[in-house]
Structure 1
């Protein structure tokens, strides 16, 4: 009875899928490989990706420390506009370094949950564009510092860039000491600001470097422990890689935090800062060290996050104390 019923109106003819058309169907990229950059995108989306490529939040922290160093190094004869040049030059170098770092780590970032959606591994930005942006920012920042501030500040910025890209970045895959090495370029920005304003390096510049270096260690150890599995997936050899309990990470963090006490005392003992500012720094250091000791005693994700948050509060407090000490002197 059904043989004479045509199926044409019910089942329209489907177009054949040739191999050429199949190639145009977007396929999910492997977690081990970065996705290919997509076509033109809205300007707002591209700007957001540019900000992420340049790590604007981290660069902002770099600028805060640079500005503090500049103020502590300036004299009555230091031109006010010089601060703007120092900030712009240092910020460009920092942003360029961040872009070049992500370019070198694109495949590792593609394997890590916290970084796989960055512009490069996420396929939203072309590698050649990242190379151009990173090189342009870094190069123009160095030139700006050399021409408007002084050669010393430009050389310090160049040293920061070389250590960060040439040593720290490849060392992350080779040695767990990469965190110690990475803390060196991270501690130089306030020294760049200080040198731009004072045109010299002295004991106060060394104190600023020591404070930033020691502050970074508990800060980054807390991050590395919280994301140790992610770093392992990316092939990075972190100090926290084999510390499942978190006790060793807490002990190391506490030791570096305790070393901040003599670093904070040094400016007052050498007549570089008053005792009011020094007392504020010591109180802040006591609170910071306590969070690190707490992690050593009771290691957990919660205590590690508390240490991380304490590190974010600590740095502005001590820098503000030193700046106010000079402003009110």
Structure 2
């Protein structure tokens, strides 16, 4: 008999892959990008080259904090996650790691990230990151099993990344920082509604109440999707009105917001997984594009 050509992973590489998956790197990479862009927006052109090391420390500390929060979230929700088909292969849900190991790993990353930000960046950035993590884990996470308004509760800590980046660069929070916060706050509603609609049966199996009962589900979807998208159109013009950005940004952000709204309307009208998938894809393009336009066309 010939030797099998199938490759087997070593226990070390398998464990490393499981711990890596606990941090949800695909999700947290967007967080790091937004933090970095906010940092660049808060940094003056004259001193930007002097703060490259701070930016690298900021991104590293943020990834540690975000990875720790993801691991702790999976520890808390491991039993519910196991009932969801789309995430049942996650390390804890699939039984690839012991819960205590994931708990210790999440705590280690979170504490290390907070301390790293405090020492290598500044105390305000560390405090904001820690506050966002705590609110996400101890307010938003349990509310998912109680009320569909969990999305509103989760939007508050979810919108903190621009504040972290701004605080890292300037040591304070200006009006412009809160404008960026409002962008991310509003963006989360259509983004999550796309996910919730695509995987609504999964959430029911896991007993998460991210959507109300069938009688109110369509109305809830309309409000949570269309109202934020309509608000986003005038909101994205605020940087231009305040003199933070030029008309290239204003034109580009208006076009992007209108296209984003069109995707939201299609979901509300068609209510199919395909329409939800398109809205989700549009949301992942929209947010970094708006922030990058601000960087490129800042006055």
- TM-score exceeds 0.5: yes
Which structure 1 segments of 5+ residues have no match?
1-39
**Does structure 2 conserve the Cα–Cα contact (< 8 Å) formed by 1:248 and 1:296?**
no
* 3-state DSSP of counterpart to 1:79: helix
- The corresponding residue for 1:282 is 254
More helix by share: 2
* 3-state DSSP of counterpart to 1:174: coil
Matches for 1:171-320 after TM superposition, within 5 Å: 171-239=143-211, 241-242=213-214, 246=218, 248-320=220-292
Residue from 97, 100, 103 that aligns with 1:128: 100
- The corresponding residue for 1:72 is 41
* 3-state DSSP of counterpart to 1:80: helix
Q: Using the TM superposition, give the Cα deviation of residue 216 of structure 1 relative to its aligned residue in structure 2, in angstroms.
A: 1.1
**Does structure 2 conserve the Cα–Cα contact (< 8 Å) formed by 1:228 and 1:241?**
no
| Alignment size in residue pairs | 288
- Counterpart Cα distance in 1 of 2:160 and 2:223: 26
- The corresponding residue for 2:68 is 96
- Counterpart Cα distance in 2 of 1:298 and 1:175: 25
**Does structure 1 conserve the Cα–Cα contact (< 8 Å) formed by 2:211 and 2:220?**
no
- The corresponding residue for 2:4 is none
- Counterpart Cα distance in 1 of 2:105 and 2:215: 38
- The corresponding residue for 1:7 is none
Q: Using the TM superposition, give the Cα deviation of residue 240 of structure 1 relative to its aligned residue in structure 2, in angstroms.
A: 5.1
Matches for 1:112-127 after TM superposition, within 5 Å: 112-127=84-99
Q: Using the TM superposition, give the Cα deviation of residue 252 of structure 1 relative to its aligned residue in structure 2, in angstroms.
A: 2.7
Q: Using the TM superposition, give the Cα deviation of residue 262 of structure 1 relative to its aligned residue in structure 2, in angstroms.
A: 2.1
What is the CA deviation profile of residues 249-292 of structure 1, one whole-angstrom value per residue up to 9, with x for unaligned ones? 14431111111112211111111111211211111001001111
**Does structure 2 conserve the Cα–Cα contact (< 8 Å) formed by 1:86 and 1:145?**
yes
- Counterpart Cα distance in 2 of 1:179 and 1:207: 20
Residue from 46, 49, 70 that aligns with 2:15: 46
Give me the TM-score of the superposition, normalised by structure 2: 0.92
Which structure 2 segments of 5+ residues have no match?
1-8
Give me the TM-score of the superposition, normalised by structure 1: 0.83
**Does structure 2 conserve the Cα–Cα contact (< 8 Å) formed by 1:179 and 1:239?**
no
**Does structure 2 conserve the Cα–Cα contact (< 8 Å) formed by 1:232 and 1:241?**
no
* 3-state DSSP of counterpart to 1:119: coil
Q: Using the TM superposition, give the Cα deviation of residue 41 of structure 1 relative to its aligned residue in structure 2, in angstroms.
A: 5.2
- Counterpart Cα distance in 1 of 2:218 and 2:285: 22
